[in-house]
Structure 1
Amino acid sequence: MRAVIRADASIAIGSGHVHRCLSLAVELRRRGAEVLFICRELPGNLGALLAERDFRVFFLPPPGEGEPECRPARDARETAAVLTSLSGGVDWLIVDHYALGGEWESALRDLVTSILVVDDLADRRHDCDVLLDQGFYADAEHRYRELVSPGCRLLLGPRYALLNDGFTRQRQREDEKSGERLFVFFGGSDATNETEKVLQALPLLKNRNVQLDVVIGGGNPFRARIEKLAAADDRVRLHGQVEDMAALMVKSDIALGAGGTTTWERFCLGLPSIVVSVADNQTALSEFLGLDGRIVYLGRAGQVDREMIARAIDSLLEFPWWRRSLSRRGRELVDGQGCRRLGRILFPEEIQVRPVREDDEEKIFAWRNAVENRRFSFSSREIPLAEHQQWFRECLCDDRRVLLIGERDGRPIGVLRYDFRSSAEVVVSVYLVPGCHGRGLGGSLIRAGSGWLREHYPACEQVVAEVLAGNRAGRKVFLEAGFTEYYGVFREVLAHGS
Structure 2
Amino acid sequence: MSPSFLIATHADAEHATGHLRRSLTLAEALRSRGHDVAVQAPDTDYVRVLASAWCPNGGGLRLEGLAGSVEEADPDVVVFDLPRSLGPVSDVRAARVAALDRFDFADERIDLFVDLFVPGWARPEHPLGERLAEGLQFSMVRPEVAAERDAAGAVRNDAGRVLVLFGGSDAGGMTARALAQMADAGIGAEVDVVVGPGVPGLDPQVPGADAFDARVHVDPPDLPRLMASADLAVSGGGTTLLELMCLGRPTVVAPRTADESEFAHAIAAQGGCLVVDPAEEDAIGTAVRELASDARARERLSECARALVDGRGPIRIAESLEALT
Q: Same fold (TM over 0.5)?
A: yes
**Counterpart Cα distance in 1 of 2:164 and 2:308:** 22
2:91 matched residue in structure 1: 107
Q: 1:295-310 alignment to 2 at 5 Å?
A: 295-299=273-277, 301=278, 303-305=279-281, 307-310=282-285
* 8 Å CA contact 1:135, 1:157 repeated in 2: yes
**Counterpart Cα distance in 2 of 1:344 and 1:244:** 29
Match 2:145 to one of 156, 164, 167 = 167
% identical equivalent positions: 26
1:22 matched residue in structure 2: 24
1:154 matched residue in structure 2: 132
1:275 matched residue in structure 2: 253
Identify if the C-alpha distance between structure 1 residues 135 and 183 changes in structure 2 by more than 3 Å, giving closer, same or farther: farther
**Counterpart Cα distance in 2 of 1:333 and 1:293:** 9
1:330 matched residue in structure 2: 305
* 8 Å CA contact 1:187, 1:258 repeated in 2: yes
Identify if the C-alpha distance between structure 1 residues 53 and 35 changes in structure 2 by more than 3 Å, giving closer, same or farther: farther
2:196 matched residue in structure 1: 217
3-state DSSP class of the match of 1:3?
strand
1:227 matched residue in structure 2: 206
1:7 matched residue in structure 2: 9
**Counterpart Cα distance in 1 of 2:7 and 2:152:** 36
Residues 1:58 and 2:67 are matched in the alignment: no
Structure 2 unaligned blocks of 5 or more: none
Identify if the C-alpha distance between structure 1 residues 322 and 92 changes in structure 2 by more than 3 Å, giving closer, same or farther: same
Deviations 1:245-270 (A, max 9, x none): 22110101111010111121111111
**Counterpart Cα distance in 2 of 1:316 and 1:329:** 15
1:34 matched residue in structure 2: 36
3-state DSSP class of the match of 1:52?
coil
Alignment RMSD (CA, Å)? 2.5
Match 2:71 to one of 76, 80, 88 = 80
Residues 1:288 and 2:270 are matched in the alignment: no
3-state DSSP class of the match of 2:147?
helix
Q: CA deviation at 1:290?
A: 2.9
Identify the structure with the greater strand proportion.
1
**Counterpart Cα distance in 2 of 1:138 and 1:35:** 34
Structure 1 unaligned blocks of 5 or more: 62-74, 84-88, 349-446, 452-498
3-state DSSP class of the match of 1:227?
coil
Q: CA deviation at 1:16?
A: 0.2
* 8 Å CA contact 1:182, 1:254 repeated in 2: yes
**Counterpart Cα distance in 1 of 2:316 and 2:266:** 25
3-state DSSP class of the match of 1:309?
helix
2:79 is aligned with what amino acid? I
Q: 1:116-155 alignment to 2 at 5 Å?
A: 116-119=98-101, 122-125=103-106, 126-138=108-120, 143=123, 147-149=126-128, 151-155=129-133
1:77 is aligned with what amino acid? G
Residues 1:96 and 2:81 are matched in the alignment: yes
* 8 Å CA contact 1:11, 1:43 repeated in 2: no
3-state DSSP class of the match of 2:224?
helix
**Counterpart Cα distance in 2 of 1:239 and 1:289:** 28
Question: What TM-score do you get using the length of structure 2 for normalisation?
Answer: 0.88
1:254 matched residue in structure 2: 232
Larger radius of gyration: 1
Q: CA deviation at 1:312?
A: 0.8
Higher RCO (CA 8 Å, separation ≥ 6 residues): 2
Question: What TM-score do you get using the length of structure 1 for normalisation?
Answer: 0.59
Deviations 1:220-239 (A, max 9, x none): 13754843543x34531101
Q: CA deviation at 1:128?
A: 1.1
**Counterpart Cα distance in 2 of 1:91 and 1:52:** 27
**Counterpart Cα distance in 1 of 2:21 and 2:183:** 34
2:91 is aligned with what amino acid? A
**Counterpart Cα distance in 1 of 2:175 and 2:201:** 9
**Counterpart Cα distance in 1 of 2:32 and 2:202:** 36
3-state DSSP class of the match of 1:332?
helix
Q: Hey, which bits of structure 1, 4+ residues long, moved more than 6 A?
A: none
**Counterpart Cα distance in 1 of 2:206 and 2:233:** 19
3-state DSSP class of the match of 1:238?
strand
Report the count of equivalent residues: 317
* 8 Å CA contact 2:176, 2:206 repeated in 1: no
